[in-house]
Structure 1
């Protein structure tokens, strides 16, 4: 997984590593991430806990309304406080006070931990004992100026939705699958009992592609009003839906710029090159390393080991090549980032 940020050790990649690959025993990391993004380029680099508590508790209270399970443990005093606020049993000031007291006990320490080790770049320094808050670093201030900054909120929300839905299913992980709805351009989770629309497919996949077109590496966006809005594309074309199993599976979905997907020299129903197939395998391994629930979905669809997943892709690729014959690869328009 470290390849994700080592291939291009940028601030954007470190941030995405935290959101996409950090260990999740509670959703607090997502609430903290969204709060930091909301605060943006603060005038004073010191953010006191009272200031941080308002957006942090607000995001958690909003998510609790549609997803009561926000932690893997059986109970949480802090979440009970948030639920009481939602029921009107607690006022805003009391919620803030309890958030300062209980809400940040573990998440501030754990935020920068990915794969059991701290990433090389910190976005804030813990100064709770000395100044009653956290101090934003120069790295975070630079992050707010990134062209990818507007996408981070969408990506964080999408990742949060995926994780909480897996918890909320309350069943064996292997029974939860994430699938794609072509009409809604959305991902939904399903098991034997129900199907739930989770979140935008664009928002869910963008971080793993680092905000770039899968094919040519040009910048893309998940902002609905952006002229760079990404297309959701089937790597092996949809016309093969009778030949390729689970063709709507996340393993076969990528984000592409409009030029690559439907431009004059676009892919359409042609088969991407072997080089691009290798890139798909690498991207899918990133998805598997993000754990719930994408890991279980991909492994059930494509194989339990890296070798079997590579073999699965090659087999489906061979079928596609026999049916559609023509191969396609665009000229790179950006630096290789994944």
Structure 2
């Protein structure tokens, strides 16, 4: 089996490793990441923990208002204090004091740890000459000069929302499936009780494509108003339902982000069936989501199979069916590569 691999050891992919693969026992990592973005916009690199505490706690408080559960643990002294602030039981100064006491206990040391070891790039270091402060590194400041920087902020927020939905619905006990709502490009969580908006589809998928078009590897954006904004494409076209109405066309397993040229340009895909090479790429992308313990893994497994072999068979049958209804007698579609192959 081919594996999903990274051949671009660049700063934004190290950042994505933290956001996508770092441990998700609580949401502190996401709040810290968003706080670092705040200070980048200010151009400030030396930050005391007192300065860090205000936006850090604010990001957590805002998310607690919508999703009261912000971790896997049933109890958290720090989060309880933030909930007390939200309900008006304590004042802001007391909330910040508790943030300084409890909020940074583990997150600063654990932030750069992925799969039990430090990643190859650090985005901040603890300042040795000034107690209770961090220094943003050149790698983090240079990250802001990259085309993907705005995407990373959106991806961080989207990942946070996905993890919240998993915690809130206790996915290990109460499976929530996620479907695509095409009109507004949203992912909708569906469980036995209700349907709820989870997040926008673009940032949820973009990190796993490393900010590139699924088909041609051209750099894409997920920012509304951008000329390079990605379009959500169905790998297998809707006509597949003529073969098997049970195929989840709007499932995560069938959704990819594509540049406008690939999706509907002069030589675009439209309703054509992609090549077998691109089918393998889709399989690799889906396995990447599953093995990274993405919050959508349960949805993918439920819809495509509990083992690698079953998931391969699922895609092959869909491809065979699509060939009969879409690609019979014609060449499969594949665009010219426009960027570095990252998956």
SS in 1 for 2:189: strand
Cα separation, partners in 2 of 1:171 and 1:287, compared to 1, 3 Å: closer
**Structure 2: distance between partners of 1:7 and 1:312:** 28
Aligned partner (choices 301, 305, 308) of residue 306 of structure 1: 308
Aligned to 1:293: 295
Aligned partner (choices 275, 279, 282) of residue 281 of structure 2: 279
**Structure 1: distance between partners of 2:276 and 2:229:** 26
Cα separation, partners in 2 of 1:12 and 1:196, compared to 1, 3 Å: same
Match runs of 1:141-160 below 5 Å: 141-160=141-160
Cα separation, partners in 2 of 1:51 and 1:5, compared to 1, 3 Å: farther
**Structure 1: distance between partners of 2:337 and 2:155:** 25
Aligned to 2:202: 202
Query: 1:20·1:290 contact (CA, 8 Å) conserved in 2?
Result: yes
SS in 2 for 1:198: strand
Query: 1:4·1:17 contact (CA, 8 Å) conserved in 2?
Result: no
Per the TM alignment, residue 130 of structure 1 is displaced from its structure 2 partner at its CA by 4.9
**Structure 2: distance between partners of 1:43 and 1:250:** 38
The answer to whether structure 1 residue 178 and structure 2 residue 183 are counterparts is: no
**Structure 2: distance between partners of 1:77 and 1:202:** 35
1:67-105 CA distance string (max 9 Å, x none): 000011111111111111111222222222211111111
The answer to whether structure 1 residue 124 and structure 2 residue 152 are counterparts is: no
**Structure 2: distance between partners of 1:170 and 1:183:** 28
**Structure 2: distance between partners of 1:37 and 1:164:** 20
Match runs of 1:247-262 below 5 Å: 247-262=249-264
1:4-48 CA distance string (max 9 Å, x none): 674211111110011011121101111111111121165453211
**Structure 2: distance between partners of 1:118 and 1:150:** 24
Per the TM alignment, residue 198 of structure 1 is displaced from its structure 2 partner at its CA by 0.8
**Structure 1: distance between partners of 2:323 and 2:175:** 32
Q: Which 5+ residue runs of structure 2 have no aligned equivalent?
A: none
Per the TM alignment, residue 216 of structure 1 is displaced from its structure 2 partner at its CA by 0.8
Q: Which 5+ residue runs of structure 1 have no aligned equivalent?
A: none
Aligned to 1:53: 53
Per the TM alignment, residue 184 of structure 1 is displaced from its structure 2 partner at its CA by 2.0
The answer to whether structure 1 residue 333 and structure 2 residue 338 are counterparts is: yes
**Structure 2: distance between partners of 1:203 and 1:268:** 22
**Structure 2: distance between partners of 1:242 and 1:50:** 60
1:241-299 CA distance string (max 9 Å, x none): 34351111101000001111111111011000111111111111221133252111111
Aligned to 1:318: 320
Aligned partner (choices 262, 265, 268) of residue 270 of structure 2: 268
Question: TM-score w.r.t. structure 1 length?
Answer: 0.95
1:83-137 CA distance string (max 9 Å, x none): 1111122222222221111111111111111122221111111338952122211
Question: TM-score w.r.t. structure 2 length?
Answer: 0.93
**Structure 2: distance between partners of 1:42 and 1:125:** 18
**Structure 2: distance between partners of 1:20 and 1:4:** 14
Aligned to 1:113: 113
122-131 vs 43-52, which deviates more? 122-131
1:51-70 CA distance string (max 9 Å, x none): 11111111100000110000
For the aligned residue pairs, the C-alpha RMSD in angstroms reads 1.7
1:111-165 CA distance string (max 9 Å, x none): 1111222211111113389521222112111111111000111101111111111
